Chains A and B, each alone.
Chain A
Amino acid sequence: MNTKAYALYKKDFNSELRTRYAVNSLAMFIIVAISVILFSIGNEKISQSLTGGLFWVVIFFSAMSGLSRVFVSEEERGTSLALHLVAAPSTIFSGKLLFNVILVFCMNIIIAFLYSMLFEAFIIRNFSLFAVSFILGNIGLAVASTIIAAIISKAGAKGTLYPVLSFPILLPLILTSVQLTLLANQGAGFGDAKFELAIVFCYDVIILTGSYMLFDFVWKD
């Protein structure tokens, strides 16, 4: 099962390398979103809590612009039936999830890097706390957006529906992650943030379990 999931990931990765559809549009989206924020700030000084919030605004909308590709492209190219034949639903979900996790990590590392360069107030004072919350937050983001992508790939009006369906599901994760980013930027220790870290961890586990259990129903027509 694992080798099949990896093969599926390789297939997506190769087709992404060939077309560079998601990567190009994601990179441009990140640049556009950050420059809009920079333009609107102008010469004002913004507070630390605001940068933490804006950081997750950019992450959320970038995720919404790129992560639905994994399932939508299969439906658009009409290759989902072939996938039905070659692998079990959970394997397909694993492969797609792996691709999205890696995409989310690349995207968010770039966003974090650009943020710490471009925003004076965005200083990560406790790097290990930031890294842990970043990893947990990214996994939750990838899992939730992958299962929602599977749902919308079967529906009409895919592009507009995706953020609409994802936002309420991601809301607990985003609210907690904003808090964690703020704590890391203020230099708080792990002791102060253990409750928030536990929330994000629980969220990851719950959404991951729920997604694996429900994906069968989405995938089988």
Chain B
Amino acid sequence: MAWKIFLFILLAFVSVAGVAFPIVPVPHTWYEFPLIPGLKENAKIIFFHVPTAWLSVVAFLMSTIYSFRYLKNKNLDDDAKSYAAAQLGIIFTVLATVTGAVWAKFAWGSFWSWDPRQTSIFALLLIYGAWFALRSSIESEEKKATLSAVYSIIAFLTVPFFVFIMPRIMLGLHPGAEEIDPSKGRIVQSSSPVVDFKMNANMQLIFFLSLIGFTILYFWMWQLGYKSILYKDRINKHSIRD
């Protein structure tokens, strides 16, 4: 129970801090964020957008790990865990996509611009959608678990391409992306305010607290999710037997 109160306080603090802490040109106290030219208040998205994107990937990873374990042990509990992770994963993926797109309208001028990360999250959304479509088209529990486990592992094999390779063929707008230097004609580290984005210590503190808070929230939700699936199965089996 204590950790639930801790989580509540942590998330409440992060939400208030992320939205309400002022942005000033030269920060003096710990609750002031530095001004980033060209971004201003828009910079605060990092406290909420990045955790959702992070969790959408974590959920995908967990879904794949439990798929792998299902194929190894053929235990339907692992399938329930994988399913619960994917259910949360699609929610966080949609949240990351929507928050990112709305933010991009104000910061980059358009909702969608096929930046490598946007392409990757779009692919992730398609993978989740396909995975649920596959599951809903199979009747038998074991077959459903096996085929969806195989599909999620195959889909996971494409992740390195999106994470490491797409940012190199397409030019990006997210922090850390590269761009073509027009004067030299070579690919260099970009220097626009978003891409060159660096957090100072205050922002990093709130950012990592937010990341930790949302991750704990995710694991709590995941536990509730798979337990409810397991109980539902047990009740179904019970009612069939009687």
- Residues of A at the B interface (CB closer than 8 Å) are 144, 147-148, 151-152, 154-157, 161, 164-165, 167-169, 171-172, 175-176, 179, 195-196, 199, 203, 206-207, 210-211, 214, 217-218, 221
- Residues of B at the A interface (CB closer than 8 Å) are 71, 119, 123, 126-127, 129-130, 133-134, 137-139, 143, 146-147, 149-151, 153-155, 157-158, 160-162, 165-166, 168-169
Q: B161 contacts A161, CB within 8 Å?
A: no
Task: Give A89 to B138 CA distance when docked, in angstroms.
Answer: 22
Point out the residues of chain B lying under 8 angstroms from A206, CB to CB.
Answer: 157, 160
Q: A169 contacts B154, CB within 8 Å?
A: yes
Point out the residues of chain A lying under 8 angstroms from B133, CB to CB.
Answer: 161, 164-165
Point out the residues of chain B lying under 8 angstroms from A196, CB to CB.
Answer: 169
Point out the residues of chain B lying under 8 angstroms from A179, CB to CB.
Answer: 169
Q: A161 contacts B169, CB within 8 Å?
A: no
Q: A172 contacts B134, CB within 8 Å?
A: no
Point out the residues of chain B lying under 8 angstroms from A210, CB to CB.
Answer: 153-154, 157
Q: B166 contacts A175, CB within 8 Å?
A: yes
Task: Give A217 to B74 CA distance when docked, in angstroms.
Answer: 11
Least CB distance from B33 to A in Å reads 37
Least CB distance from B124 to A in Å reads 8
Task: Give A144 to B146 CA distance when docked, in angstroms.
Answer: 18
Least CB distance from B129 to A in Å reads 7
Least CB distance from A3 to B in Å reads 28
Among A155, A203, A217, which residue has its beta carbon within 8 angstroms of that of B161?
A203
Q: B166 contacts A155, CB within 8 Å?
A: no
Which secondary structure dominates chain B's binding surface? Answer: helix
Residue of B nearest to A214 (CB): B150
Task: Give A155 to B166 CA distance when docked, in angstroms.
Answer: 32
A154 in contact with B147 given A169-B154, A199-B161 (CB within 8 Å): yes
Point out the residues of chain B lying under 8 angstroms from A195, CB to CB.
Answer: 168-169
Point out the residues of chain A lying under 8 angstroms from B168, CB to CB.
Answer: 195
Q: B134 contacts A161, CB within 8 Å?
A: yes
Task: Give A157 to B139 CA distance when docked, in angstroms.
Answer: 12
Point out the residues of chain A lying under 8 angstroms from B153, CB to CB.
Answer: 210, 214
Q: B126 contacts A156, CB within 8 Å?
A: no
Point out the residues of chain B lying under 8 angstroms from A148, CB to CB.
Answer: 151, 154
Point out the residues of chain A lying under 8 angstroms from B160, CB to CB.
Answer: 206
Point out the residues of chain B lying under 8 angstroms from A144, CB to CB.
Answer: 154
Q: A168 contacts B123, CB within 8 Å?
A: yes
Among A155, A169, A175, which residue has its beta carbon within 8 angstroms of that of B147?
A155
Least CB distance from A192 to B in Å reads 12
Q: B149 contacts A207, CB within 8 Å?
A: no
Among B138, B151, B157, B161, which residue has its beta carbon within 8 angstroms of that of A165?
B151
List 15 interface pairs A-B (beta carbons < 8 Å), by A numbering: A155-B134, A155-B137, A156-B137, A161-B134, A161-B137, A164-B130, A165-B151, A168-B158, A169-B155, A196-B169, A199-B169, A203-B158, A210-B154, A217-B149, A218-B147
Residue of A nearest to B138 (CB): A155
Task: Give A196 to B168 CA distance when docked, in angstroms.
Answer: 10
Task: Give A175 to B123 CA distance when docked, in angstroms.
Answer: 12
Point out the residues of chain A lying under 8 angstroms from B71, CB to CB.
Answer: 217
Task: Give A46 to B76 CA distance when docked, in angstroms.
Answer: 53
Task: Give A167 to B133 CA distance when docked, in angstroms.
Answer: 13
Point out the residues of chain A lying under 8 angstroms from B161, CB to CB.
Answer: 172, 199, 203
A169 in contact with B169 given A151-B147, A156-B138, A217-B71 (CB within 8 Å): no
Point out the residues of chain B lying under 8 angstroms from A217, CB to CB.
Answer: 71, 146, 149-150
Q: B134 contacts A165, CB within 8 Å?
A: yes
Task: Give A30 to B237 CA distance when docked, in angstroms.
Answer: 50
